[in-house]
Amino acid sequence: MIETAIAAAASLVSGATVQWHCDRYGRSQRIYFANHSSHLDFIIIWSALSAGARAVTRPVAGRDYWERGAVRRYVASRIFRAVLIQRSNGRVDEARMATERMATAMGDRDSLIVFPEGTRSLDGRVAPFKSGLFHLTRLRPDAELIPVFLENLNRILPKGEVLPVPMLSRLVFGVPLQTISDEDKEPFLARARDALIQLRSCHDAPGR
């Protein structure tokens, strides 16, 4: 099975230690939101999920990168069932369309992997979140929000590099972020970012 082989290869290359503070086998639809530093990020997160969760979890990725070449298109569409979106480049109408596409793509069973910073970090620091996560949670208030912290992925596949360098990394799945129905955008985004950053200091969490 291609999916199983990719999951095994990703785990081998990343050497990822996975910590779970949420139920690994939860059945609710989820929005996993993570820091972004490498094209490997969504593959590593997807690979850490249980086989059942991988089958219903779709990464959100930039159309400009994953539609460049037949191999990337095949991997994105046939293996990961990625939700490919057009980068908004600051245009409000395109950002709204991308968010609506994500919400629709979830349907009544799928979960998503998203990167709220909007671009990859060069130094591992978590940049302020774009507004897309806020609007997505308003369109899909039924989904659990799971912060995911990725450590060291920027060194395994730095920006601009093609081949990964095997190196130890860490992946931490946090507790679900509680939603507040009348919370404004900026406080929500700051709270979500803080929940993600706090996972950096989590150690020796029991797996589930």
Gyration radius (Cα) of the chain, Å? 16
The whole-number mean pLDDT for each consecutive block of 10 residues of the chain, a chain of 208 residues, reads 67 73 94 87 88 93 86 87 82 86 96 90 84 95 96 59 58 94 94 96 56
Q: Is the dihedral of CA 14, 8, 198, 95 positive or negative?
A: positive
**Distance from C-alpha of 85 to C-alpha of 83, rounded to nearest angstrom:** 6
The residue among 14, 84, 83 whose CA lies nearest residue 47 is 14
pLDDT on residue 91:
74
Q: In what order do the strands lie in the sheet with 169-173?
A: 16-20, 169-173, 144-151, 30-34, 111-114, 57-62, 83-85
pLDDT on residue 90:
67
pLDDT on residue 186:
96
Domains defined along the chain, listed by start: 2-60+90-201 (3.40.1130.10)
Contact 112, 57 (CB under 8 A): yes
pLDDT on residue 207:
44
pLDDT on residue 155:
54
